[in-house]
Structure formats: structure tokens, C-alpha cells
Amino acid sequence: MKGLSAEAGAAMRTMSWSSRCLLACCLLVCFQLALVGAARAAPPAPGAPPAPGAAHATAANSPAKAATEIPDPKQAYTAVDSFLRDQLQTLGIPGAAIAVVRDGRQVHSAAFGKADPSGRPMTPQTPVLLASTSKSLTAIAVMQQVESGRLRLDEPVRTYLPWFTMDDPRSSNITVRHLLHQTSGMSSRETAFEASLDQEPEALEESVRALASSPLAAEPGQRFHYASANYNVLGLLVQAVSKQPFGEYVRRHVFGPLGMVHSHTTAASAKEDDAAEGYSRWFSAFWVRTDVPAPAAGMPSSTMYASAEDLGRELAALLDGGRYGGARILEPGSVAEMFQPRTSVDGAKGYGMGWYTRPLVEAVDSAGPAAPAPAAQDVPLLLEHQGEWGNSHTYLAMVPASGLGVALVINGNDTAATSRLKAIDTNILRILHGHSPVPAVVSEDWLQQSSWAVALGLLVAELLSLWVSLSVLVRRRFARLGRLGPLAWAAAALALDAFVLWLCLAYAPARFDTDLPVIIRQFPDVGVSLVPVLGLAILWAVPRTAWLVVTALSRSPRGVP
């Protein structure tokens, strides 16, 4: 042991400047990861909703109904527009459009910023990738099939798709209702599809069939576990029982009756209609037009397109019991069923069919964080859903008690701190109910905010490792240490590779509840560093280690003669 310590000390004294830098980088990354494990999420913004939840249908008759009335509608709409202009300027957001619905009709719409790098103006008619707000449209299609008798909510999926299975015998118990309420037991990570580039019509069925190799995370019907794959299966169910491709069905039976002429089920048709191009905020510093996959497999859950004005038509129909003008897309009972939170998400927050439900605290919260939180039964029910994609953000909200609906689309997203854009959503509700907007507080943990920096740090560490390895092998650094130098460096480099693989293949996917390809494609500023990092950690590790070991064995124990 003493001899080994003496040799190790000699190795430390002969370490090059680059070796010390590499060691410092490794220690820094390890220290930062330890901070991640210990860090707690930042407190919510003063005006952001607390763990919201389901107020029940009785909210329509509660005393708080008066709180949902807009004190001066014209003044409120002017304030909303001013707020959005300010947010575009402050955050650098490329473009945004909003539509406000009241009592079954659109009462306000506006657009700001640009739709693409050419500077084409954003308009209320500009289609934007919806992300998860697509689910509300799929829920309408499903309930139409329930009304027709082709689907039954409590019937197993296998009744309609006999081949449907997952890597768990409990999957035979998954029902249509479980899918709608996100209680099927599916895991978002194990059913991820967001990195696919497939745009073929068959992609939807192929992705559902591919679930045969995916395990369940929980017993069907037991608890809420959000996974977009639930709605992809629902889309295939509509396709199967209606005997029409899902996209065609939605165009004919949802978009058509509602006059949603700027809504699309494929990226190609949206592009033909001058859809807004998506932007991502790179390195938490600047916005870049970024192509992010929008696979056809995710059409029912994530990859439909619509304008703010068209989404306002959807909200108007739902708030009027399924009727829009002379068209009826659903019966009032079906709409009421969609709105019912059949599962608890967190605290008072619930989930209906494609909608989160919670008390509308923005209607009564005017005194800031020191004000006592209102009781759930004292405020109206809010139904809402956000859509988060690598290059777009959308928001839908409805207050059945007052007939208020809000549709917001933004052709960009800051994946490192989505809370900044979510604060815009809640602040719009505050303004519409007579309250001033409050500053956003970033609530994401350290890893999400700085994931691009971690990826860049790992790339620097791997490149330094490569340089030092070549120095040992080609320039014969540490030659006087004999076998110890190459063997010690082989162990250090392998430790770095192991850390990289653990972080990328185990920790980060578990933390973000998705798989690595999705992280690379949906977090573009992270992916640009992670790809070469993984290439070095996987492809270079074996030949480097073998070369170092052979070099060590070829040397004398105490140095080259």
C-alpha cells in the first residue's frame, strides 16, 4: 500500500495542466449533480395557482360566480394585449395570438410578433403546433363515437382492437375511460414517441402496436399517470370504429362543423396554410427557429395544428353544451361528462377528459402571496390544458360558470424554464378578472434549467479525456511511471464514461419521464452537446481502454528503460 501511494503521488506531481483541468471538470459535474439531488423546486410565482384541483359542477351556482365577471371587458382586453406585447419584448418570444370567448361567441382576438424568420406577422388565423391541447379535440371525437354507440366508455380496449396488448397481462383491463382520464397505468417514458420523424398515415397504428413491448407503471384505473400514448390509442379507436383515418374523421366531424378552416392534422397541410414556424430558446439566452419532430403517430395527443381563432370556436362550442351556431358536435350530457374530474392529480387538481380541472383562484386572488387561499367551494371551476413542445406553447382555458374561454398560442418554447410561459397563461386569467399580472418565478429545478450547461460541461470533459488519452498513447506522457500511468488514466477515463452513460441513460430519462432520443430532439440545445458526448463515451471507450492496457503491459513496471 505504501509503494502504491508513492507511485500515485509521483503520478499526481507529473500530471499535465490538461489532466488537472479534466479532473476539475469531473469534480465540478459531480458536485453539480449532487446539488440537483438536494435542491428543491423554487417556490411558485406569487400569482400562480397553488396545487389546483377539481371544483365540482355546483360552482356554477356558487356565490363566487360574480367573481368571474369581467369588470370592464374592453379595458381588460386592452390590458391583455398590452401584457402580451410586454412579454414578447421582455422574453424575446417570437409570436403569439389570443382569442377570448364569452357566452358562445368570440369577443376578442389579437396577434403579436412574427410567424417565421422572414418577419411574416402572426395573426389570429395562423396555425400553430398544438402539442397536448390536441387531446381536447380527440376527446370530442371519442365522445361522438360514444354517442353513436360505437364505443362504450367502460369497455376494454381489446373489444375494439383485439390485438392490443402491452408487456403486462394487466393491459387487458384497460378501458376507454381509463385512457380518457389518464389512468391506464401507462408510463410516459416507456411509451415515448416524440422523437419519431415518421409522417406516414400508418404511423398511428404502428405506434400503438409497438406498445406490446412497453410495461405498465401501475394497475389500470388505480391512479393518474400522464402519458400522451393514452390519447394515441384513443385516436386509433376512433379510426377503427368509424372506419375512417383518424385525421380525416377529425377534419369532417370536428373541424368542419366548427368552421375551423385553419386547423390541420398533418404538418404538411399546416405548412400549406402558412403555419407558424417554431422557435426554441437555446442556452437560456436566445431564440432560434428550430425544427422539432411532429410525428404522425402523435396526431391524437400532440401534433395537430390550429389557430387561436379556431380554438376559440372549439371553446365556444364546449361552453354552449356542444353547439356552435347551427352545428352540434356533442350533446350537453357528453360535454358535462368530459368536464367531470374522475381522477385526482394533486390536492384539489383533477383530470377530466382531456382537461385538467381546478378552482379558478385567479378570479379572487388580488392581494398577493400573503392573502389566504380561497376554499375550493368558494371559487368557480376552471378547465385548462397546456401544450408543451420543443418549439411551441399553447393554452386553453374554460370557465363554465361564466362562459369565459381563452385560447393562447405561442410559436416558441423555453424548455429549460417552461414556467415562464405558463406564468403568461395564469396572468391572462388574472387580468381578465380585474387583477394585475404578477412576475413569473422560475420553478424548474437546477438540472432542467442548466441541462444545456451540464451537457456542454460533459462534452468538454470528454474532449479533454480524448486529448489526454492520445497524449499518453502517442506522445508517451507519464512514461516514467511505467505501467501505472496508462492504467490509472484508463480507470479515470472509464469512470467519466460510466458517469456520462448513467446520467444520460438512467438519471435524466427518469427525471424527465421520457427516453433519451426525446431529450435530444425536444431539447435541441442539450442534444447538440449530448450526441458527441455519447459518441465518445460509447464508441471510443473500448478501443481507448484496450490501447491503454496494451501500452501499460508493454512498459516495464518502473518506467521505460
The predicted-structure confidence for 209-229, as pLDDT tens digits, reads as follows 999 999 999 999 999 999 999
pLDDT of residue 476: 65
For 38, 128, 452, the CA distances from 91, given in Å and listed in that order, are 29, 19, 19
Nearest to 281 by CA among 416, 188, 159: 416
Pairing of strands 286-289, 279-282: antiparallel
The C-alpha cell that represents 60 in the structure block: 356554477
How many C-beta neighbours within 10 Å does residue 427 have? Answer: 24
pTM for this entry: 0.84
**pLDDT of amino acid 63:** 37
For 228, list phi and psi in degrees, rounded to 5: -60, -25
**pLDDT of amino acid 441:** 86
Query: What is the identity of the amino acid at 512?
Result: F
Q: Which amino acid is at 381?
A: L
Residues 175, 155 contacting (CB under 8 angstroms): yes
pLDDT of residue 255: 98
| Residues with Cβ within 8 Å of residue 98, at least 6 apart in sequence | 80, 81, 84, 108, 109, 110, 111, 124, 308, 406, 407, 408, 409, 428
Low-confidence ranges of the chain (pLDDT < 50): 1-66, 367, 560-561
Place of cell 397553488: 50
SS3 at position 506: helix
Query: What pLDDT sits at residue 151?
Result: 98
Gap between the Cα atoms of 184 and 194, Å rounded: 19
Is 537 within 8 Å of 212 (Cβ atoms)? no
pLDDT, residue 41, reads 37
